[in-house]
Structure 1
């Protein structure tokens, strides 16, 4: 998400580093010292510098505290100790600067209050400083951390009211990776490279980290970097058919190098774990089996039960690959027995899934056993893996959920089809909620009862698209019928997850750029795939609520085009739901609602960076509180608001509508997303606490409007940013933009929306009519780049 955006990290002509860093106060001299010291170009001369000893002492303290940070955010404790002043004219040693900048970058990377954009800047500066001095240890650590920043998604925010930015989708990013060359470290020495896609920056950073760590005989860092790089290449192969073969081949080579490094790790438990994960990635990529039995033999040197179970499961995989299914089943039974004896048998679901591959005659039973095992351990799994920082959801859950849905639907053609469809839908709902909890944290996602089909009114249709590796499945239910239940449409085997993701990328990249019509062909195909099968249900006055899967989360469904070149929004109202538990129908009357509209126009320096002055946000906030030229009775408008201002306004009485016209940042990960206030940031999780703590009567915020969101195309977690804004803030529904929109376009749409909403229209009706009014006006406002960006999530009545 981004509005106005932070200053671009690098201008086209060269370095233009983001201003403002660790200090929350606008102490320009202090902020400039830290920024300039960690500037990647390294060519800034300062009048005074901190001493090398002071830098290293600060870095050592920060690293020590970061190593034992636990679940607490270390920012408030560590940041002050990194705010150093100059003490003399002598420039500190490259080693001191590299270690200091690496520690500062790591703090920014792991802290919810830190900026992922600043983390990228500092870590790139640390890497380049260390590389110029041939300091392989600090260079490898900075590069590895830089790779982890990039893996978390694009840290840069978008702009609002400025020039349109060029979007990059996964396909273009994959092409960039192919242009990196043989030495990834060379790419990281180019200052212009930082504006590359997250994928290419991740590949270069992790590859360089492995190269430098290997040369420095730091086998642990080398193996970790190669593991993350191998898995990254495999994930691209899963979503990009054109690049799949090349990325799998590269993954095989990377994993093989990683196993060679992992064999040299002294700690037997760590050695076994990394060998197992790397061998698993190697087998996933289709690497040859010659010599791989020696890897599992090396794993068994560790007496840990986890290592024994994992080695046995990997031997089973290799036996199956060699055609000995009977031996594979026997070994996997033994692996299951060993894993079940652990206090937290985290790999038990994975092993059941593997057994389903070796015993296809009993696949369904094994997959459902995997799902049952997952449900038993899911509450006990840590949110992030302590070794690689990957989410437990991606490591242990996603494939199990997908497999369970797959087998339920695959068997839904017999007499018990209705029961299987219902079971599949229940698993899907658990899947969506687990994914939300993984992205935002279970503490931010309170339990709710899912929307029940019988709560739907006539004309309200709920659609579940399910993207599977070999087909598209869709479940739907139409309201107004006695005993309404989900139905399964015939599976569409002409497309799969990759195909749909490619079409969404083509549509969204073109739409968000707003400079060509190449989105039309993709939009037309997506309509045929997703909407045409239920077209008959979309009668005049109907509503379509979609629970999107994967890449579909970044798709503005309203812009899909039918065979008569009519937009979907011209046929029906559209709303999005992250899960049924976060999409109640709603129904509060707008005429009786209290509104708070808060805006920020001034330039602000906060720990997350410097945010530019905005034009038009104050007018937008005032517009939200006006109908027919008159201020509505129950409204508050706060210009250049602070957190205290917002708390005060929300304390006075129950607030139903909160309109925020300010900068917002996705900040690399959804649980770090924030809005910018006067001199401070407010995390969306904090906003939820503010709303909960200052209620004068029960109930949730009815409507949150954020006109500055941005979805990262091809990044499943980033594309949940809109869902997170509503869920984390505790709102029944949200309206936000999937990409930055001009001030004029935002103002026109909001004016139209509020006018209709206060006349008594539902949220979905008011948004649809506002979008149709822009289309009818023609000219620039009719461009889908403007009106299609705005999406309603959650309650629609």
Structure 2
């Protein structure tokens, strides 16, 4: 990862020649020969020359020359993995230099030797010490005004910061150096800088700064999309072309492979969000897979360095295994084993080797679990031997982070073997080591692992306590990761974050399931209530965590109020419903107002699901798998979009089944509390469900209740909608633009709004641009922004957008526009948007727009409807809102009921896709 200090460095040359006594002349010749051998990657012969030179200098008084030989010997020993010899030589070199009177010559030699030491420290898993050595070298180069030395150290500091996981700091370290780097002639140093920057772009991303600095550099790709990964590719390709040594060329190809790997995981993430049926469309995914494998193969073909070959082969293997686990069996997966085993056992100890051993075992465990067959792999004893060797190596190197990682992986091996007692003991040791190493990214993984192990031993209370610790640690890790524009593939939300929350909720709710026939027989305990409250808070936290992961930022607003506070403080007849989708069942928590209930009504009604209750909380369990539930949701959406309704006997079952699952068990309590508004904190696939279209056999839900959704986020100002002096900024596009259909009724929709609210402003077609929108927002305050134009909600942030006239507005641009308002929006209406077809997490797009807009309330459609019915519904909504005392939720409900009662628009297609998110008052 480092630029050597001029290979066998230039510090051994220069004005010292005239001071060397006759015996040293031969030593100097030997050093020159060693330098050539080193640059030719003939390290053993270079070491032999330097050892002879060192012997010849024994007894001479030239301490500087001795120091240079020892410094260069350390570099050569590092190249062959002889770490103890390398440490001894570097210590001797620095001791000799410290004994000499300071001069520019001595300072140059000391700075170069410190660079050599920093490289060694980084290799041995001591990145903080490496940074200290580099900082000391930087001080000396500044005193010498040595710009090349300062540039080289600055680049190497960015590598060291990456090694300790401080990627954003690494980028900040590198950014000021870019103009100087670009002004340099092509050289290995420039190649190294490009490699560092390419690696950082892959993880941190570019806010536009790098693109501007490299304005003349970029080549537009065939896709026309110059995203962060494409920029990373281009920089790393340049690094490969500018590199001279096979070591640096191999590093560039290894980095290129990792960029293609990141592209693979991004594409895989997108495919999995589309749900079943879409996962067969893997041609683009295999393109990235093949590109990554090709780069890793180049490392194999080119380098004489076994560690690079090992890393490339392991990366190939882990990628192939991931592909097989998610999609198709890949014939190449097992072809890696014969070459890997000798490399793993023959390499000298280093942090890189330790992580390679861990990577190898983890990959085999994943593949074995997937295939249900470990017979083709090294047996458990051999895998345990790999890990115990890694533990011993990390102990020898005094690397607690590596020791924790290898120890935790040994615990995972025992977990796979269902040796619970040993898994618990070893994982607890890994937790202590991760804590000592101040490594929360590792700590949470072992806490999660320990929770699973305790759960399997039926130590439920202990497991719950450890899961709580894991989530607390995970929250720290997540906040660090949110500063990175691109998602770290080690922490993909659905694989490494979401399961921790769900497994804890599962444990908490398993404790609550009781068979109760009548609600009057309920058992109320403080512990029951505490666990139910914790479960719903966890689901709210999960919703927020998912939205933060989507937006790549930490959510935060002032004047937030919890749902409970809003309902209780304002005596609202509203209930909050938390449907929780677990793998084998659906759990429902109902939060009721705490005012007195009509117990007689509850007692007269049987509760038809497994349930348990406390005074204001009720809990129900429905026996349905997540897969079956998803199929029912998708079928209902398909029916609605095909303009079916519950009056058709062939489809009535689809509308009724989800009502029976989600609402029927709650009816007695809802009736007893005279509930008027249902606030849903929807989970998973249920976010795509038009709740208002659920059918009880006689009525749709919307005929009985107002409906609102909550994102798990506390409400942005819970005060009622202010109708006085109301003004609407109404913008839209009615014309056909590019491949988007015309919306001929949009003009009428906007005119109707202006008729109802005369102080409104209209921006239609050519007048609806981002600049015009900005100008109006900056000129006066509009409490309501109404956008009647094509829009798309997607689980991919970059694909969520709203179209102005011939231009798209993305989530971040909308946020920047609306921040210019003097006060936050009361209401944002998106009347012609839709979720991406088949995208089961597309509602993240609507949630993202709602939150980033800072709107107290947002109304949007989850699929596109005919603009004629959209125009009619919006007209009725605004009339209800202005001409009565109706809340936002009630105004929307009445508009939906008006369409339902109209023969032309009675089918749910016309009125059910509209959802209210946020404050319903």
Q: TM-score, normalised by structure 2?
A: 0.61
CA distance in 1, matches of 2:849, 2:714: 15
Contact 1:468 1:496 in 2 (8 A): yes
Contact 1:230 1:255 in 2 (8 A): yes
Give the Å deviation of 1:554: 0.8
State yes or no: 1:346 paired with 2:450. Answer: no
Aligned to 2:902: 777
Higher relative contact order (CA 8 A, sep 6+): 1
Deviations 1:395-421 (A, max 9, x none): 543222222222322334673212222
Give the Å deviation of 1:544: 0.8
State yes or no: 1:153 paired with 2:270. Answer: yes
| Pick aligned residue for 1:651 from 740, 764, 778 | 778
Aligned to 2:656: 524
CA distance in 1, matches of 2:314, 2:843: 30
Specify whether residues 210 and 471 from structure 1 end up closer, same or farther in structure 2 by C-alpha distance, changes over 3 A only. Answer: same
Give the secondary structure class of the aligned counterpart of 1:625.
helix
| Pick aligned residue for 1:557 from 673, 680, 691 | 691
Q: Which runs of 5+ in 2 are unaligned?
A: 1-190, 232-252, 301-308, 515-522, 598-613
Aligned to 1:762: 887
Aligned to 1:419: 530
Specify whether residues 409 and 138 from structure 1 end up closer, same or farther in structure 2 by C-alpha distance, changes over 3 A only. Answer: closer
State yes or no: 1:718 paired with 2:813. Answer: no
Q: How does 1:414-453 map to 2 (within 5 A)?
A: 415=525, 416-446=527-557, 448-452=560-564, 453=567
Further displaced range: 275-284 or 436-445 = 275-284
CA distance in 2, matches of 1:233, 1:770: 50
Further displaced range: 741-750 or 285-294 = 285-294
Aligned to 1:312: 407
Contact 1:591 1:759 in 2 (8 A): no
Q: How does 1:651-730 map to 2 (within 5 A)?
A: 651-666=778-793, 669-670=796-797, 673-678=800-805, 680-695=807-822, 698=823, 700-712=824-836, 715-730=839-854
Contact 1:459 1:537 in 2 (8 A): no
Q: How does 1:274-285 map to 2 (within 5 A)?
A: 274-275=359-360, 278-279=363-364, 281-282=366-367, 285=370
Give the Å deviation of 1:65: 6.0
Specify whether residues 647 and 678 from structure 1 end up closer, same or farther in structure 2 by C-alpha distance, changes over 3 A only. Answer: same
CA distance in 1, matches of 2:816, 2:596: 40
Specify whether residues 171 and 755 from structure 1 end up closer, same or farther in structure 2 by C-alpha distance, changes over 3 A only. Answer: same
State yes or no: 1:489 paired with 2:601. Answer: no
State yes or no: 1:172 paired with 2:304. Answer: no
Q: How does 1:66-85 map to 2 (within 5 A)?
A: 67-69=199-201, 71=204, 73-75=206-208, 78=211
Contact 1:584 1:794 in 2 (8 A): no
Aligned to 2:632: 503
Specify whether residues 261 and 456 from structure 1 end up closer, same or farther in structure 2 by C-alpha distance, changes over 3 A only. Answer: farther
CA distance in 2, matches of 1:140, 1:347: 24
Deviations 1:175-227 (A, max 9, x none): xx2xxxxxxxxxxxxxxxxxx5xxx4565445545665576567867865765
Further displaced range: 371-380 or 146-155 = 146-155
Specify whether residues 646 and 536 from structure 1 end up closer, same or farther in structure 2 by C-alpha distance, changes over 3 A only. Answer: same
Give the Å deviation of 1:556: 0.8
CA distance in 2, matches of 1:208, 1:356: 37
Deviations 1:96-151 (A, max 9, x none): 9xx8627954527789xxxxxxxxxxxxxxxxxxxxxxxx9999899757644533
Give the secondary structure class of the aligned counterpart of 2:834.
coil
Give the Å deviation of 1:552: 0.7
Contact 2:734 2:764 in 1 (8 A): no
Specify whether residues 638 and 382 from structure 1 end up closer, same or farther in structure 2 by C-alpha distance, changes over 3 A only. Answer: same
| Pick aligned residue for 1:362 from 459, 462, 484 | 459
| Pick aligned residue for 1:406 from 499, 506, 511 | 506
CA distance in 2, matches of 1:233, 1:385: 28
| Pick aligned residue for 1:632 from 758, 776, 779 | 758
Q: Which has the larger radius of gyration?
A: 2
Further displaced range: 282-291 or 63-72 = 63-72
Deviations 1:248-302 (A, max 9, x none): xx57988767888987799536635643653453365364344254456556557
Give the Å deviation of 1:597: 0.7
Q: How does 1:224-239 map to 2 (within 5 A)?
A: 227=318
CA distance in 1, matches of 2:492, 2:294: 29
CA distance in 1, matches of 2:827, 2:848: 14
Matched length = 641
State yes or no: 1:107 paired with 2:220. Answer: no
Contact 1:152 1:668 in 2 (8 A): no
Deviations 1:33-70 (A, max 9, x none): xxxxxxxxxxxxxxxxxxxxxxxxxx999998654436
CA distance in 2, matches of 1:500, 1:232: 27
Further displaced range: 259-268 or 464-473 = 259-268
CA distance in 1, matches of 2:875, 2:654: 31
Give the Å deviation of 1:306: 4.2
Specify whether residues 655 and 399 from structure 1 end up closer, same or farther in structure 2 by C-alpha distance, changes over 3 A only. Answer: same
Specify whether residues 215 and 255 from structure 1 end up closer, same or farther in structure 2 by C-alpha distance, changes over 3 A only. Answer: closer
Contact 1:259 1:279 in 2 (8 A): no
| Pick aligned residue for 2:489 from 379, 384, 389 | 389
CA distance in 2, matches of 1:742, 1:280: 52
| Pick aligned residue for 2:710 from 564, 567, 577 | 577
Specify whether residues 60 and 334 from structure 1 end up closer, same or farther in structure 2 by C-alpha distance, changes over 3 A only. Answer: closer
Give the Å deviation of 1:479: 2.9
Deviations 1:357-399 (A, max 9, x none): 3332423323322322431452344136979536454454322
Specify whether residues 428 and 584 from structure 1 end up closer, same or farther in structure 2 by C-alpha distance, changes over 3 A only. Answer: farther
Give the Å deviation of 1:553: 0.8
CA distance in 1, matches of 2:255, 2:741: 33
State yes or no: 1:594 paired with 2:727. Answer: yes
CA distance in 1, matches of 2:337, 2:222: 27
Contact 2:199 2:255 in 1 (8 A): no
Q: How does 1:745-756 map to 2 (within 5 A)?
A: 745-756=869-880
CA distance in 1, matches of 2:730, 2:748: 10
| Pick aligned residue for 1:619 from 721, 742, 748 | 748
CA distance in 2, matches of 1:110, 1:149: 13
CA-based RMSD: 4.3
Deviations 1:742-763 (A, max 9, x none): 2222212212222222212222
Further displaced range: 657-666 or 282-291 = 282-291
CA distance in 2, matches of 1:544, 1:694: 31
Q: TM-score, normalised by structure 1?
A: 0.70
Contact 2:736 2:743 in 1 (8 A): yes
State yes or no: 1:534 paired with 2:666. Answer: yes
Give the Å deviation of 1:325: 2.6
Specify whether residues 318 and 657 from structure 1 end up closer, same or farther in structure 2 by C-alpha distance, changes over 3 A only. Answer: same
Give the Å deviation of 1:73: 3.3
Bigger proportion of residues as helix: 2
Give the Å deviation of 1:432: 2.2
State yes or no: 1:271 paired with 2:356. Answer: yes
